[in-house]
Amino acid sequence: MSRIFDLHAGSSPLLVSVPHDGWQIPMDIVQYMSDAGRAIPDTDWHVAELYSFARDSGASMITANFSRYVVDLNRPADDAELYPGSGTPGLCPDKTFAGADIYLDPIEIDTAARVAGYWQPYHDQLAATLQSLREQHGYALLWDAHSIPSSVPSLFEGELPVLNVGTWDGRSCAPALADAVMRVAGQSPYDAVLNGRFKGGYITRHYGDPDNGIHALQLELAQRAYMHERTLEFDRQKAGELRATLQAMLDAYQEAARG
């Protein structure tokens, strides 16, 4: 079987997590999937490529290789709702964001096996890396990197801002760090919001523990800022422009932590 995730070990206190960029699906699952499911439309396309600069800047990075349709790494293992009443897909979804069936026929999903085989290894490594960074530097910074189509009527109304920063309403990250990131976002060419529709998923909420030296922040990007949403192609010009803002946000996050 392919690696569950790829890990790059950096030299700074920063870990960038990319849980939804994976596209692989095991054959024992894909054989039951519909065309809509096999197209994996809810992938956070090209996010690892977009953030490739962070590795060069000294950050560690963990990137999932398997699709969120196998198991969603940003949901709790017990599948508890993060946004009650919102209709957000769960741990092992059977419908796309648009409401299409992921499977040809209703199937009994072995959730426990998927958690053990795919979810747990990613989270074990994520936890171990954060612990190691805190031991090395005295604190650790987690940046959970996501993207989503600009318009998903089933999840939110209208068009999403480009920069959607989430800190679980201030619980996962010290306010001074979030303020520093938002100052950069506010001066950028992009519209930005803090703790709006996206406040941070399980990864942000579970690992963020600012009182004990681990700060966690989620950034949900609207995909129009760096790719062609219709064709799913990576737009290198747009991505280059967005990277300048992302680099400045990551720098501000780290500088505020050092301060």
The stretch 34-49 carries a mean pLDDT of 98
| pLDDT for 86 | 67
pLDDT in tens, 155-195: 888 999 999 999 999 999 999 999 999 999 999 999 999 99
Tell the CATH superfamily of the 5-21+44-64+112-258 domain.
Zn-dependent exopeptidases (3.40.630.40)
pLDDT at 238: 98
Averaged pLDDT for residues 115-144: 98
C-alpha dist (Å) from residue 247 to 139, 193, 251: 20, 18, 6
pLDDT more than 90, % of the chain: 93
The closest alpha carbon to 145, from 228, 237, 234, 54, belongs to 54
Half-sphere exposure of 131 (CA within 13 A, CB side): 6
Rg (CA), the chain: 17
Whole-angstrom distance, CA of residue 118 vs CA of residue 258: 34
- pLDDT at residue number 190: 98
Number of separate helices (H) and strands (E) present in the chain: 9, 7
pLDDT of 87 > 70? The answer is no
Q: What is the pLDDT of residue 89?
A: 81
Q: How crowded is residue 23: how many other Cβ atoms within 10 Å of its Cβ?
A: 13
Quote the pLDDT of residue 1: 60
Could you give the 3-state DSSP secondary structure of residue 47? helix
Which residues neighbour 257 within 8 Å (Cβ) at sequence distance 6 or greater? 13, 139, 141, 177, 215
Please choose, from the candidates 2, 8, 152, 151, the residue with its C-alpha nearest in 3D space to the C-alpha of residue 70. Answer: 2
What is the rounded distance in angstroms from the CA atom of residue 154 to the CA atom of residue 97? 7
pTM of the model: 0.96
Structure tokens at 163: 């920069």
CA dihedral 253, 254, 255, 259 (to 10 degrees): 100
